[in-house]
Structure 1
Amino acid sequence: EKRVFQVKWEVDYLFTEFKGKPMCLVCLETLSAMKDFNLSCHYNTLHKVKYEKYTEAARTALIADLKSKVHKQQQFFTRATTTQEAALMPSIFDINDHVEGKMKEVMHNCKYFSLALDDSTDVMDVSQLLRTVDRSVEVHEELLKMVPTMPPRARIYSTQCNSVANAYGGLDKLSAVVTDGAPAMQGRRTGFAGLLQQSGVNCPIMHCIIHQEALCAKKLNFNHLTDLVTKVTHLIREGNRSLSHRRCGRRIWGFTNAHLVRWISRGKCLERFFALRSQIPVFLGDSVRGDMSANCRKLKDTAFLCDMAFLTDITAHLNDLNPKLQGRDQTVCDLCAHINAFQRKLDLFSHLPNLTYFPACEEMGKSVPECEGVLHKYKTDIEKLQEQFKHSFLDFHAMQPQIALFVDPLSAAVSEQPSELQLELCDLQSDPFFQARCNEKGITFWGLLPECRFPLLRDFALSMTSMFGSTYICESSFSTMK
């Protein structure tokens, strides 16, 4: 047969070819394979009793009638689809024109804007997000454009600038650019950042704070542990097909439906794995085919379990930080505050063997007394993480004086501020009206300042408010579109 539709099937089994597959003219069911056996089974099971009485000319007339009904149905849906598309097209263009018009209106009225550029959202595109702030301190965040990442990098730069220039009119009010750190974005000579500075645009160009935090976390080198945990997890979930997965769901995880198990992240996986550290070797020995003795010995090794306990605890703390850096409507100041708080926590963590903040390590110390003599070695790993955090985020640390002024202008040292802001800052700190509102912070406080009295301070606040600190919204917007 060679998987080609046979003309005789039309007469014998009442089938026709539709889009390269056999389709029954009676029930319109499409079969996956063009095989005589499949078609005959379908006809003999469902339609033979009713249609075997039609022979020769009567059968030919029946086939012609069935085919005409199918053709009319297909024409009806084709006409309906075409009509709907024709009716929708003007509406789509109207919506597009309205959105584009509103975007240009927002950008025309804004005082400052910043750009977030993410080169890792897709293999074909750079996601370009715009954040604007107007004179009334109202913030807007909009997806401006998706542009191709085709070489050379100068083309990326020109495309980005042209898209802003067409929508806004130039880069005069660009307050900051934040990128995902890709070479096409951060390169000092041929990257977007380098070409932007060479063109005379003097604004902060920052590496996304979430990407930097993820790079810091990679400083913890426990590959020997994560590799084994990943391997055993895959063995449980997939290695022995669905049987061991279902058994594991009932026996270990406590679920009757194994698909309910969610391995949300490495941290969650480690927490669950550590909690089941005594049951997993038993399960591997009883339910997984193959020699699991080496894996079981490793999972019972005291040093390995101590490593797992430490990594479980420190990853839980990093996982607690990461969601705080995500979300909309966060200023650069908010993000820096989260990073600074975590660095202070690392100072507390370094006081090992105090295990107050390491519950898994504390549990290991109680259940296996010899672990207490091992846990102090992880102080070195915490110090490495501290050092990595200290040497990362340099672009944000350079903005610390501006951040301090934006967060608490009433307590800022006047002498340490730029000379053009000092006189207005003296007036602000001496005004009883604003002193009475010292509980107001951030954007809320700066919105109280009248532009006629504090034009320079208000201009500074608008510039800070307009800055992105991460490319989170670029990535989340792309995920939503997918």
Structure 2
Amino acid sequence: VNSYALRAEKVGELKAALVTQKKSQKATEASFRATHFLIKKKKAFSDGEVVKEAMLIIANIALKDEKNGTDLISTLSDVQLEASAMARRVSAMSGNLVDQLDQDLVKCRWFSIQCDESVDSSSTAQLLVFIRMVFEDFSTREELLTLLPLKTTTRGDDIYNMVKEFFVQKKVPLGKLVVVTTDGAPAMIGRHTGFIAHCKGDPDFPKFLHYHCIIHQQALCAKVIGFGHVMTPFLKIINNIHSKAKQHRIFKVLLEEMSAEYGDLLLHTEIRWLSRGRVLLRFLSLLGEIKEFRQSKGEDVSLLEDTEWTLDLAFLTDITGKLNHLNCELQGKGQTVVDMISAVNAFKAKMNAFSADLQRKRVLHVPSVQSVLKDNASASETFDKVAEKYYEVINRLGQEFENSFNLNQLESCVSFISNPFMDGDTTCFAEQLSATFNLDAGQVEMEIITFQNDLHLKAYQAAPNFWCLFDTEKYSGVCTAAMKVASLFGSTYLCESAFSDMNFIKNKHRTRLTDAHLKDSLTVAVSSYTPDYNTLVNSMQCQSSH
């Protein structure tokens, strides 16, 4: 009897321990999942305690009279969300995500990187490196590779040394590198001492391509428009209205009383890609209200009443609006080089259409100018005088795009990979692919001739997964070229976007956030991988909250 009682007691203890262990594991997994959600929203570590407190308040009200309500509330109270626990969870999740990335780096066939540098809220220069990998099935993945703090100077050799040290430590397979995309800073693209120059001079790096971010090039091209006679007074008027709180309040009340289209003016920020177009459009829409406001203060409004200046303002609004539209087309995660080159070529073709339209003194493609002409009967004569000026501006912009976007060799390769059955000289195609991607021209030419006469492949040439149908051994050359094209970055958009996330995470209220915690937080915030919660929970000693 005593033996039976002892066994029953021991079984009861083991059952209770198992229940406690399962409860603790659930609380730990909940802690990881809640932390992952909060960091994805770029919240501070200390916000976890606030969330937990709010959660317990809700639970105590909603669950106290429910069956097992006390147990549920007890389980919630065991979830660790204090700042130190969240920091540990973020570090563990970051490590897990990096492990998944390392596994993909081994599996991928080729990859490209994009690099950019910016300063955080504590004046530390941070170098962001993103990677785009292409796999055997031609699928791609874009991920944050690393965030590297530059403690002192940010010269080309500093960036190179940091990146090379990281590659060596992580054993990154450099032989798979295809393209490095950067902004146009001298530290990055300097001919002799830039980051790219150092990499090209390093025998550990393969022969790789280098491209200047297409979005940055587009923004630089836009500067040739000029129109300082419009921008200078325009910015002066906006800054004057915003300069004094009382004056700004009165202006907003006036807009409300006049039932204006917008409730306020926007401020112009030169470094923001889409700033000028939006500010100009808002200003032009509120031009009548601005004129009345300045008149009520006894200020000079002769410029705002000048028909030619108003037409110039409208034209500048239209052309920057078109540049903004192009900019939006170039932005976004997952944008391929095919998409970006197509958008740029379409814009250049549109510039020719706009130019021809203005040469005939028509305003089909400039709606703001059209609106000014419609509202002001005397503006037609003035437009006839300035149409030639607008025509020259459009031509100058188009020419700048032609000169700056020197992607002819890449474009021909991308065009062929996008449409491999296109008419043309197979020898020329083979030579271009081989020169761009370090392939054997004779082998590639034979492969092109072979697959272009393959009736089975011809039947599926419109399939979205067309290149997956190829035998990668039989067509190793063209498949390699197709994979390398799929791996290309066309811009540093991911870096620019991540810098916004970085500044949100390490803001003026969190300047003491360490580089390690910043890196871990940013990795968790921007990664498209999902943490392996089972592995994370099993790797930790499960214990209830203090």
Shorter-chain TM-score: which interval? 0.7 to 0.9
Indicate the residue corresponding to 2:490 in structure 1: 469
**Which of 158, 163, 173 is matched with 1:160 structurally?**
163
Q: 1:339 to 1:236 in 2, by over 3 A?
A: same
Q: 1:270 to 1:94 in 2, by over 3 A?
A: closer
Distance in 1 of aligned mates of 2:363 and 2:261: 32
User: Contact conserved, 1:364 with 1:371, CA < 8 A, in 2?
Assistant: no
> What displacement does 1:267 show?
1.2
Matched letter for residue 378 of structure 1: Y
Matched letter for residue 468 of structure 2: G
Indicate the residue corresponding to 1:271 in structure 2: 281
User: Contact conserved, 1:121 with 1:475, CA < 8 A, in 2?
Assistant: no
Indicate the residue corresponding to 2:184 in structure 1: 181
Overall identity of the aligned pairs, in %: 30
User: Contact conserved, 2:291 with 2:304, CA < 8 A, in 1?
Assistant: yes
Distance in 2 of aligned mates of 1:282 and 1:320: 32
Matched letter for residue 400 of structure 2: Q
**Which of 225, 244, 254 is matched with 2:250 structurally?**
244
* 1:168-212 Cα shifts (integer Å, max 9, x gaps): 434211100000111111111111111111124321111100000
Taking the TM superposition and a 5 Å limit, the aligned residue runs for 1:257-268 are 258=263, 265-268=275-278
**Which of 370, 382, 405 is matched with 1:371 structurally?**
382
2:302 aligned with 1:292: no
> What displacement does 1:161 show?
2.0
Matched letter for residue 179 of structure 1: T
Distance in 1 of aligned mates of 2:313 and 2:302: 15
**Which of 401, 407, 431 is matched with 1:389 structurally?**
401
Q: 1:103 to 1:236 in 2, by over 3 A?
A: same
Matched letter for residue 104 of structure 2: V
* 3-state SS of 2:145 partner: strand
Distance in 2 of aligned mates of 1:400 and 1:337: 9
Indicate the residue corresponding to 2:94 in structure 1: 96
* 1:121-176 Cα shifts (integer Å, max 9, x gaps): 64511111111111121211111112234435313102112222333434211100
* 3-state SS of 1:399 partner: helix
Q: 1:298 to 1:119 in 2, by over 3 A?
A: same
> What displacement does 1:398 show?
3.1
Distance in 2 of aligned mates of 1:85 and 1:285: 56
* 3-state SS of 2:175 partner: coil
Indicate the residue corresponding to 2:199 in structure 1: 196
User: Contact conserved, 1:238 with 1:245, CA < 8 A, in 2?
Assistant: no
- After TM superposition, the structure 1 stretch with the greater mean CA deviation from structure 2, 142-151 or 109-118, is 142-151
Q: 1:131 to 1:82 in 2, by over 3 A?
A: closer
User: Contact conserved, 1:255 with 1:261, CA < 8 A, in 2?
Assistant: no
Q: 1:252 to 1:237 in 2, by over 3 A?
A: farther
Matched letter for residue 459 of structure 2: A
* 3-state SS of 1:188 partner: coil
Tell me, which stretches of 5 or more residues in structure 2 are unaligned? 1-77, 269-273, 431-440, 505-546
Distance in 2 of aligned mates of 1:388 and 1:86: 54
Higher relative contact order (CA 8 A, sep 6+): 2
> What displacement does 1:260 show?
9.9
**Which of 435, 439, 458 is matched with 2:458 structurally?**
435
Distance in 2 of aligned mates of 1:220 and 1:253: 34
User: Contact conserved, 1:175 with 1:463, CA < 8 A, in 2?
Assistant: yes
- After TM superposition, the structure 1 stretch with the greater mean CA deviation from structure 2, 187-196 or 266-275, is 266-275
User: Contact conserved, 2:265 with 2:282, CA < 8 A, in 1?
Assistant: no
Indicate the residue corresponding to 1:118 in structure 2: 116
RMSD: 2.6
Distance in 1 of aligned mates of 2:459 and 2:256: 61
User: Contact conserved, 1:216 with 1:388, CA < 8 A, in 2?
Assistant: yes
User: Contact conserved, 2:105 with 2:133, CA < 8 A, in 1?
Assistant: yes
Indicate the residue corresponding to 1:50 in structure 2: none
> What displacement does 1:430 show?
1.5
Matched letter for residue 483 of structure 2: L
Distance in 2 of aligned mates of 1:82 and 1:433: 59
Matched letter for residue 158 of structure 2: R
Q: Which has the larger radius of gyration?
A: 1
Indicate the residue corresponding to 1:454 in structure 2: 475
> What displacement does 1:238 show?
4.1
- After TM superposition, the structure 1 stretch with the greater mean CA deviation from structure 2, 345-354 or 239-248, is 239-248
* 1:284-336 Cα shifts (integer Å, max 9, x gaps): 111x4xx511xx10111122112112111111111110000000111112111
Q: TM-score, normalised by structure 2?
A: 0.67
Distance in 2 of aligned mates of 1:204 and 1:121: 27
Taking the TM superposition and a 5 Å limit, the aligned residue runs for 1:17-416 are 84=82, 87-88=85-86, 91-120=89-118, 122=120, 124-149=125-150, 150-151=152-153, 152-200=155-203, 201-239=206-244, 240-252=246-258, 254=260, 258=263, 265-286=275-296, 288=297, 291-293=298-300, 296-351=301-356, 352=358, 353-366=361-374, 367=376, 368-374=379-385, 375-394=387-406, 396-413=407-424, 414-416=426-428
Distance in 1 of aligned mates of 2:326 and 2:460: 30
Distance in 1 of aligned mates of 2:85 and 2:162: 34
Matched letter for residue 432 of structure 1: L
Matched letter for residue 402 of structure 2: K
User: Contact conserved, 2:470 with 2:479, CA < 8 A, in 1?
Assistant: yes
User: Contact conserved, 1:111 with 1:173, CA < 8 A, in 2?
Assistant: yes
Aligned length: 394
Matched letter for residue 395 of structure 2: E
User: Contact conserved, 2:265 with 2:279, CA < 8 A, in 1?
Assistant: no
> What displacement does 1:228 show?
1.6
User: Contact conserved, 2:266 with 2:282, CA < 8 A, in 1?
Assistant: no
* 3-state SS of 1:350 partner: helix
Matched letter for residue 370 of structure 1: E
Distance in 2 of aligned mates of 1:381 and 1:89: 54
Distance in 1 of aligned mates of 2:113 and 2:104: 15
Matched letter for residue 401 of structure 1: S
Q: TM-score, normalised by structure 1?
A: 0.76
Matched letter for residue 248 of structure 1: L
* 3-state SS of 1:254 partner: coil
